[in-house]
Chains A and B, each alone.
Chain A
């Protein structure tokens, strides 16, 4: 099936440093998402993105977070500066956005971020 690729698969970073998580969505998809999952907990919505703009973001999407997709390249989540509580697996997803099954989200395998 359609594949969403995430880079890096895991990263350890010092608290206060900047990190960028990269997502290569399904090629014809138009809507992009980031979700956060702390170990053993529920997957939580962070943000969705369409046509170069954030459509909606949750309370978890702190001011230190930003997303962009410059020129149709990777869809990125940047955290600057990182905090200990940012340690989690971050999942990227994309969807076509149209048609009966257009809201099916396809997920990447996650980027495991550990802030120390």
Chain B
């Protein structure tokens, strides 16, 4: 059973400073990873999907995947107060029809 852990639990950055979030997983055979964002009382917003080792950029969001190290990260360039939310790392189970989530990182962006 895939296990997904995120760090830190909470992160505070100033507006404009890079924010970096980490995610480790237990089963390196997965090849389908996503970062979602969850504003309180709202559904989940897809930020970036990554399927192979390396980097994938979507606007101000960049994901880095290193399956050998069982690690995927999310970097947010020039974060704004509106980016304050819970960021969830998700790993697609190998059967391709189940998503395993981490517990999330609470990001606070100060103006």
Chain A residues close to B by CB (< 8 Å):
1, 4, 6, 31, 33, 41-45, 48, 50, 55-56, 91, 93, 97, 100-101, 103-110
The 10 closest A-B pairs by CB, nearest first: A107-B44, A109-B43, A107-B43, A42-B103, A43-B101, A48-B97, A108-B43, A103-B92, A109-B42, A45-B98
Name the prevailing secondary structure of the B interface residues. loop
Enumerate chain B residues within 8 angstroms of A91, measured Cβ to Cβ: 43-44
Docked pose: A106 CA to B42 CA in angstroms: 12
B95 an interface residue at 8 Å Cβ cutoff? yes
Nearest chain A CB to B58 CB, angstrom units: 12
Interface size on B, residues (CB 8 A): 22
A-B Cβ contacts below 8 A, count: 51
Give me 24 A-to-B residue pairs in the complex whose CB atoms sit less than 8 angstroms apart, sorted by A's number.
A4-B43, A6-B43, A41-B103, A42-B101, A43-B88, A44-B101, A45-B98, A45-B100, A48-B97, A50-B97, A56-B97, A91-B43, A91-B44, A93-B44, A100-B51, A103-B96, A103-B97, A104-B34, A104-B49, A105-B44, A105-B99, A107-B36, A108-B43, A109-B42
